[in-house]
């Protein structure tokens, strides 16, 4: 899916496009980058674990508040994700096979840089 590719490109330092550009205007670059890195890290781990689980979010963490703001309150990223019962998961409209495929794409294309 296009959004997943955009998330990976943004994490690699590309300028945001489409929905991410709107999100960047809302949150700023640093806060959006944290949300994107958390989501991509979760997707990458799902492929490596070989199963799909949700990403738990807690209101006391700033990145979780930002994710809720973007997904639930502003409706951004809804083509791919939804918030349900204190967690982020794939939208119900995305079949499990497609979810696994998207996680595999993230695993192969997203290599977070270590801070030095």
Burial class (CB in 10 A: 0-12, 13-18, 19+), 70: buried
Asked if 71 contacts 77 with a C-beta cutoff of 8 angstroms, the reply is yes
Q: Identify which of 88, 70, 65 has the alpha carbon closest to the alpha carbon of residue 22.
A: 70
Which residue range(s) make up the domain with 25?
A: 2-109
Q: Is 63 inside any structural domain?
A: yes
Quick check: is 65 in a domain? Answer: yes
Q: Are 104 and 5 in contact, with CB atoms under 8 Å apart?
A: no
Q: How many domains does the chain have?
A: 1
Residue 48 counted as domain residue = yes
Q: What is the pTM of this model?
A: 0.91
Successive 10-residue mean pLDDT values, the chain, 116 residues: 88 86 92 95 93 93 94 86 94 94 95 69
Q: Quick one: pLDDT at residue 19?
A: 83
> What pLDDT sits at residue 77?
87
Nearest to 37 by CA among 60, 66, 1: 66
Helix or strand (DSSP H, E) at 87: strand 87-90
- Per-residue confidence (pLDDT) for residue 83, from 0 to 100: 93
CB atoms within 10 A of CB 38: 18
Q: In this structure, is residue 115 part of a structural domain?
A: no
Instruction: Report d(CA 20, CA 76) in Å as an integer.
Output: 8
What confidence score (pLDDT) does residue 7 get? 93
pLDDT of residue 55: 96
pLDDT for the residue numbered 114 = 64
Report if residue 34 sits inside a domain: yes
Domain-located, residue 74: yes
């Amino acid at each position: 899916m296009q959004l997943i590719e955009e998330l990976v490109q943004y994490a690699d330092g590309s300028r945001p496009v489409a929905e991410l550009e709107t999100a960047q205007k809302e949150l700023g670059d640093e806060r959006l980058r944290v949300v994107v890195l958390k989501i991509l890290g979760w997707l990458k781990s799902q492929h490596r674990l070989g199963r799909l689980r949700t990403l738990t979010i807690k209101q006391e963490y700033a990145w979780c508040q930002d994710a809720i703001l973007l997904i639930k309150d502003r409706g951004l990223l809804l083509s791919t994700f939804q918030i349900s019962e204190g967690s982020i998961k794939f939208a119900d409209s995305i079949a499990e096979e497609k979810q696994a495929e998207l996680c595999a794409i993230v695993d192969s294309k997203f290599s977070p840089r270590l801070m030095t």
